[in-house]
């Protein structure tokens, strides 16, 4: 019937859903870095000596992870999760973990270590020029 105020129970139920919706949005948040794309042009990532042989370094602002395989071999991958396009912001050793849904990747190969992601990370061209790591298209 028009003009009848909603029942108290309906109002309370709706009020209870507002915080739950906020929690859901927070869980899907990228945690600061809202950029959901890999570099579209070469980016200077800094000194090559910052990545020792056998280790990896995550560059969250650029959405790139670089691994140093040997003295003169580097691998670079986009650090955008292939499951839901969340920027990955956690690297422990050589394992990347996506905070959105828990996918894990090997930073040296880009391979999926743990689902829900099923596709590997996108490999990026990488080179060392003038003692600095440069990654991205046309690097």
Instruction: Express each pLDDT in 113-122 by its tens digit.
Output: 999 999 999 9
Contact 85, 119 (CB under 8 A): no
Q: Do the domain assignments include residue 91?
A: yes
47 vs 136: CA distance, rounded Å: 16
Q: State the DSSP code for 98.
A: -
Query: pTM, whole model, 2 decimals?
Result: 0.75
Question: How many domains does the chain divide into?
Answer: 1
> Residue 18 in 3-state DSSP?
helix
pLDDT digits 0-9 by tens, 30-62: 444 466 777 888 999 999 999 999 999 999 999
Range of the domain at 103: 43-135
User: What's 104's domain CATH number?
Assistant: 2.102.10.10
CA of 29: how far to CAs of 6, 18, 47, 105, 114, in Å? 33, 17, 31, 20, 21
């Amino acid at each position: 019937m028009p003009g009848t105020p909603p029942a108290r129970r309906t109002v309370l139920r709706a009020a209870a859903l507002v915080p739950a919706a906020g929690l859901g949005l927070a869980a899907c948040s990228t945690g600061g870095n809202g950029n959901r794309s890999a570099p579209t042009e070469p980016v200077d990532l800094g000194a090559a000596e910052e990545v020792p042989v056998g280790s990896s370094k995550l560059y969250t602002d650029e959405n790139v992870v670089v691994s140093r395989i040997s003295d003169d071999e580097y691998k670079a991958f986009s650090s955008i999760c292939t499951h839901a396009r969340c920027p990955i912001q956690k690297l422990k050793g050589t394992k990347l973990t996506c905070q959105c849904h828990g996918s894990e990747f090997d930073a040296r190969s880009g391979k999926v270590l743990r689902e829900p992601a099923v596709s590997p990370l996108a490999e990026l061209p990488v080179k060392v020029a003038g003692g600095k790591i440069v990654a991205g298209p046309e690097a």
